[in-house]
Structure 1
Amino acid sequence: MRVYSDADADLALIRGRRVAVIGYGNQGRAQALNLRDSDVAVTVALAPDSPSLSRAAGDGFDVMTPAEAAAGADVAVMLAPDEAQAAIYAEAVAPHLRRGGALVFAHGLNIRFGLIVPRPDVDVVLVAPKGPGTALRREYEQGAGLVALFAVDQDATGTAQALALSYAAAIGSGRAGILPTSFAEECEADLFNEAAVIWGAIPELIEAGFETLVEAGFSEEVAYFECLTEVKLIADLIYERGIAGMREAISNTAEFGALTGGSRIVTPQTRTEMRRILADVREGRLVQALIKDADSGYPRLEASRRRARAHPIEAVGKRLRALAGAVPPHTPLPGEEKEAEPGGGVAASAHAPDDADRRRR
């Protein structure tokens, strides 16, 4: 795979365009700020009742409705929640974005599953930073960047790839690496990971391990440290060294425990279920369920959030985080809290646009 960098990108391309960032949650805010700091002309597009209006204005942006912003833009960046984008595109972007303009997505979902069918006279590109918006902004401010994936779905002007690379460089990703993909590959892999690994399986494993120890008579505090706090330690080691390197860094006891226990949890049945989850993703069942939940006001998501907040591990974590140094502190960065932009006819999500974040999703 070829890895592109700043040397492959012409920043003058995006600097010569007027960019409308639609949405000002986690990714929207970070990308808008990075673009502006890269000398790109940026307007933020929000619904009149958006909770992000004051934040965007406070950050010094001109804030318009999506229709107004699209009418004055050369590039429309779709960073509202996935389930809201189709309505925003149909009602505000498609009628107003100029011929020869461009649509930029940070997640392939709406194109992959046909929720948005772009006009044939615009470029359609993907630029997907591989991390949350807060990390994208932090790395940019430190002179670094996050790796991003890019793809071209429609090249109406003959310059779509060059524009995608230029945009990726402007948000800082050219400092780290810009990797080619497709809308389908990015979308399917991301949705699978969210459902089957990172946001699905790992929290379930943490809660199940905590419950197992507490049921056996261990203190909640010890169970919390063992099953939750140490997740950060292993994540850091894997990130820095890879899985094999992580195993070389831990004790023989820990490594032998992993050898004997891991395959008893991740069984052939687990792998079969993973393949079923991937099939749900590829055949559109997961996205259909998301849209149905959104149209009904998110009853499944809200029920899941209530269950998570009520789990005993949350009360333990709150107590331990109050002890100085007991748990690695986490101070939210500006814009890190969950939020989203209401979008035409679709109930507003409680998640930030980083879910594309994947943003993350």
Structure 2
Amino acid sequence: MKLFTDGDADLSLIRGRRVAVIGYGNQGRAQALNLRDSGAPPIVALREGAPSRARAEADGFEVATPEDAAARCDVAAVLTPDDGQAEIWETALKPNLPQGAALVFAHGLSIRFGLISPRPDLDIVLVAPKGPGSALRSEYEAGRGLVTLFAVHQDATGAAEALALSYAAALGSGRAGILPTSFAEECEADLFNEQAVLWGAIPELIHAGYETLVDAGFSPEVAYFECLTEVKLIADLIYARGIAGMREAISNTAEFGALQGGRRIVTPETRAEMRHILAEVRNGSFVAELMADASAGYPKLRASRREASSHPIEEVGRKLREIRPN
């Protein structure tokens, strides 16, 4: 796989385009600020009355409605939540984007699962930073960047790849690396990871370990440090050194414990369930459930948030964060 860097990107391409950033949340704000600091100041597109409108204006951006911004731009970066992108496309972007414009996505879901059917005259590209907007911005300000994935779904003008690389470089990602992928690969891997590893499995594992210790009579504070706080420490080690390098940095006792326990938790049945999760992602059933919950006002998601916030580990965490030194 070729790793693209700043030397492979022509920043003058994005600087010469009229860019609109659709949405001003965590990713939208970071991308808008990085684009501006790279010499490609965007219009920020928000609905009238949007809560983030005041912040975008305070940051010095021109703010327009999505319809107005679409009519005035030739690159539209769609950085709103996945569940609302189809509506924005149909009502604001599809009827107003000029011929030969480009749509930039930070996640492949709307294209991969057909929530948006783009006009044939448009370039459709993916520029997906591998991290939250807060990290994208802080790394840029530090003179570094986040690794970013890019892909071309539709190359109507013959210049879609060059534009995608230029946009990614304006985010600062050419400093770290820009990796080619496809909309399907980025989307499917991301949806799988969210469920089976990062946001699904790891918090569930932390809860289970905490409950096991507390139920056995251990203090909640000790259980919190053992099962939650040390997750950051191992994540930092793995990020810096890889999994094998992490094992070299821990004690023999910890490493032997990993040998004894790891595969008793992640069993063949666990791996089979991971394959089932991936199959549900790829066949579209997960996205169908996501959109159904979104259409109903997210009852499942809101119930899950209430359950997570009421777990005893959260109160222990609040108390410990209040007393620990900064």
Q: How does 1:179-198 map to 2 (within 5 A)?
A: 179-198=179-198
**CA distance, structure 2, for counterparts of residue 195 and residue 187 of structure 1:** 13
1:100 is matched with 100
Q: Is the 8 A contact 2:14 2:166 kept in 1?
A: yes
What's 1:155 paired with?
155
**Cross-structure match for 2:235:** 235
Identify the structure with bigger relative contact order (alpha carbons < 8 Å, sequence gap 6+): 1
Name the residue aligned to 1:342: none
Distance in 2, Cα, partners of 1:150 & 1:250: 36
Q: What's the CA shift string for 1:30-79, capped at 9, x where partnerless?
A: 00000000010300001112110111011000111111100000100000
Residue 309, structure 1, aligned to residue 309, structure 2 = yes
- Alignment match, 2:299: 299
Contact 2:100 2:156 in 1 (8 A): yes
* 2:169 is the alignment partner of 1:169: yes
Structure-2 residue corresponding to 1:84: 84
Whichever residue aligns with residue 311 of structure 2, its letter is H
SS at match of 1:104: strand
Deviations 1:255-276 (CA, angstroms, capped at 9, x unpaired): 0000000000000000000000
Counterpart CA distance in 1 for 2:21 and 2:293 is 26
Note if contact 1:144-1:172 (Cα within 8 Å) is conserved in structure 2: yes
Matches within 5 A, 1:109-258: 109-258=109-258
CA distance in 2, matches of 1:87, 1:141: 34
Task: Indicate the residue corresponding to 1:263 in structure 2.
Answer: 263
Residue 15 of structure 1 corresponds to 15
Stretches of structure 2 that go unaligned for 5 or more consecutive residues are: none
Contact 1:101 1:122 in 2 (8 A): yes
- Using the size of structure 2 for normalisation, the TM-score is 0.99
Q: Counterparts of 1:303 and 1:145 in 2: how far apart (Å)?
A: 36
Residue 356 (structure 1) aligns with: none
Contact 1:126 / 1:149 at 8 angstroms: preserved in 2?
yes
Aligned mates of 1:46, 1:255 — CA distance in 2: 51
- Structure 1 SS opposite 2:323: coil
Partners of 1:208 and 1:48 lie apart in 2 by: 44
Per-residue deviation, 1:91: 0.5
SS of 2:42's partner is strand
Large movers: runs of 4+ above 2 Å:
none
* Higher helix proportion: 2
Partners of 1:182 and 1:155 lie apart in 2 by: 13
Compute the displacement of 1:244 (Å). Answer: 0.2
Mapped partners of 1:183, 1:114: distance in 2: 11
State the Cα deviation string for residues 78-108 of structure 1 (Å, max 9, x = none): 0000110011011000100110100000000
Question: SS of the counterpart of 2:121?
Answer: coil
Which residue does 1:333 correspond to in 2?
Answer: none
How far, CA to CA, are the matches of 2:59 and 2:287 in structure 1? 33
Q: Secondary structure at the match of 1:127?
A: strand
User: When the two structures are superposed, what TM-score results if normalisation uses the length of structure 1?
Assistant: 0.90
Number of equivalenced pairs: 326
State the distance in 2 between where 1:292 and 1:50 align: 24
Any idea what SS the aligned residue of 1:322 has? Answer: helix
Counterpart in the other structure of 1:319: 319
Distance, in Å, in 1 between the alignment partners of 2:188 and 2:263 is 26
**1:204, CA displacement in angstroms?**
0.1
The answer to whether the 8 A contact 1:94-1:119 is kept is: yes
2:76/2:104 contact within 8 Å kept: yes
Match of 2:64 in 1: 64
In structure 2, distance between residues paired with 1:65 and 1:253:
59
CA distance in 1, matches of 2:41, 2:81: 23
Mapped partners of 1:11, 1:98: distance in 2:
22
Give the whole-Å Cα distance in 2 for the aligned partners of 1:270 and 1:58.
48
Q: Is the 8 A contact 2:102 2:125 kept in 1?
A: yes
Question: Residue 224 of structure 1: CA displacement?
Answer: 0.1
The equivalent residue for 2:276 is 276
The answer to whether the Cα contact below 8 Å between 2:32 and 2:41 also exists between their aligned partners in 1 is no
Identity %: 73
Instruction: List per-residue Cα deviations over 1:230-253 (Å, max 9, x = no partner).
Output: 000000000000000000000000
Q: Who is 2:26 aligned against? A: 26
Report if aligned partners of 1:17, 1:41 keep a CA contact under 8 Å in 2.
Answer: no
